[in-house]
Amino acid sequence: MARLVFDIETSALPLDQFDEAQKEYLFRECEKLADETARGTRRNEIQQQCNLWPFTAQVVCIAMLNADTSRGQVLFTAADYEEDTDEAGPVEFVPCMDEMELLTAFWDVARHYDNIATFNGRGFDVPFVYLRSALLNVSISRKDWLGYRFQTEPHCDLAEQFTFYGVSGRDGAARRFNLDFYCKAFGIESPKSAGVTGRDMNTMIAEGRFREIAEYCLRDVKATVLLYQIWKERLAGIK
Residues 131 and 108 in one domain: yes
Cis upstream peptide for 95 (omega within 30°): no
- Tell me: do 50 and 155 sit in the same domain: no
The pLDDT score that the predictor gives to residue 83 is 60
218-232 confidence digits (pLDDT tens) = 999 999 999 999 999
Contact, 96 vs 73, CB < 8 A? no
Mean pLDDT (the chain) is: 93
> Which band of pLDDT confidence, cut at 50, 70 and 90, is reported for residue 131?
very high
Task: Evaluate if pTM is beyond 0.85.
Answer: yes
27, amino acid identity: F
51 and 121 in a common domain: no
Q: 159 with 41, same domain? A: no
Count Cβ atoms below 10 Å from residue 135 Cβ, excluding itself.
14
Same domain assignment for residues 108 and 26: no
Same domain, residue pair 41 and 71? no
Whether 118 and 28 map to the same domain: the answer is no
Would 38 be classed as within a structural domain?
Answer: yes
Number of domains in the chain: 2
- 87 within domain boundaries: yes
* Distance in angstroms (rounded) separating the CA atoms of residues 68 and 55: 34
Q: What is the CATH number of the domain that holds 203?
A: 3.30.420.10
How would residue 239 be classed by pLDDT, with cut points 50, 70 and 90? confident
pLDDT of residue 194: 73
**Least reliable range by pLDDT among 30-39, 45-54, 135-144, 222-231:** 30-39
139 and 196 belong to one structural domain? yes
Can you list the positions of beta strands (E) in the chain?
A: 3-12, 57-66, 72-77, 91-96, 115-118, 155-157
Same domain, yes or no: 91 and 32: no
Domain span holding position 26: 19-55
Do 51 and 135 belong to one domain?
no
Q: Are residues 84 and 35 in the same domain?
A: no
- Assess whether 78 and 128 both reside in one domain: yes
